[in-house]
Amino acid sequence: MKIEIAAEPQPISVELARTALLIIDMQRDFLEPGGFGETLGNDVTRLQAAVKPLQAVLAAARAAGLLVIHTREGHRPDLSDAPPAKVERGSPSLRIGAPGPMGRILIRGEPGHDIVPELYPIDGEPVIDKPGKGAFYQTDLESMLKNRAIKNLLVAGVTTEVCVNTTVREANDRGYRCIVLGDCCASYFPEFHEIGLKMIKAQGGIFGWVSDSATVLAALRGAR
């Protein structure tokens, strides 16, 4: 079944069976105090804005039988997959791998690395562990999408200008249509959130489309 989603720069029609919801890095390390995001000097409460709208979209996507894929940014406990340029940069309060209140910062298997309880994956929803900003880099996301003949991605998560934008650009180069749900994304910098969405939809949708949770919920409701 096809649904039409109102979006900028123009509406887009997608086949539901060829569409997945891709949720980027909704991890405690980015959204909760004491994690990676806070060690970088950020106000992590800003990211909370995306949780409720995304919860509603996640429930509707599950009800509609859409493939839901979650990603998590993080590294192996021995840091062998963490580029020194990433680990050593800046002057964070705690570096990647250092022990923090939610376990070692940005390390797989630690409490802080896991997805926030409100958006926790259920059985059957793949979780992609990625070492970089983009969800395609050094992961099996592309083969997963190909095996399910997915062509369109509803993209949500954090942060808008970092991992969401990087993933959308990677997806765009690989031929996927990305529809970014603006209110289901968030940034530590409100101005980067706004501009990050504008960069996607400018120039006739140079990287993709931008829509929002209410629009997608209405479109999915119409499909039932």
What's the chain's Rg over C-alpha atoms? 17
**Marked catalytic residue, from 29, 163, 178, 212:** 163
Per-residue mark of binding to ligand TIU, 33-52 (x: CB under 6 A)? -------x------------
Which is nearer to ligand TIU, 25 or 170 (by Cβ)?
25
What are the tokens at 140? 């099996």
Active site residue 86: no
Interface pick for ligand TIU out of 25, 114, 170, 212 (rule CB under 6 A): 25
DSSP 107: B
Taking the complex as a whole, the smallest distance from the CB of residue 196 to ligand TIU amounts, in Å, to 10
Residue 166 CB contacts under 8 Å (≥ 6 apart), including other chains: 132, 133, 134
Q: Is 143 helix (H, G, I), strand (E, B) or coil?
A: helix
| Closest by CA position to 86, among listed 100, 107, 69, 68 | 107
Interface pick for ligand TIU out of 8, 38, 73, 212 (rule CB under 6 A): 73
Per-residue mark of binding to ligand TIU, 138-177 (x: CB under 6 A)? --------------------xx--xx--------------
Q: Determine if residue 138 is left, alpha or beta; phi over 0 gives left, psi from -120 to 50 gives alpha, anything else beta.
A: left
| Residues near ligand TIU (CB under 6 A) | 25, 30, 40, 73, 133, 158-159, 162-163, 188
* Positions marked active-site: 25, 130, 163
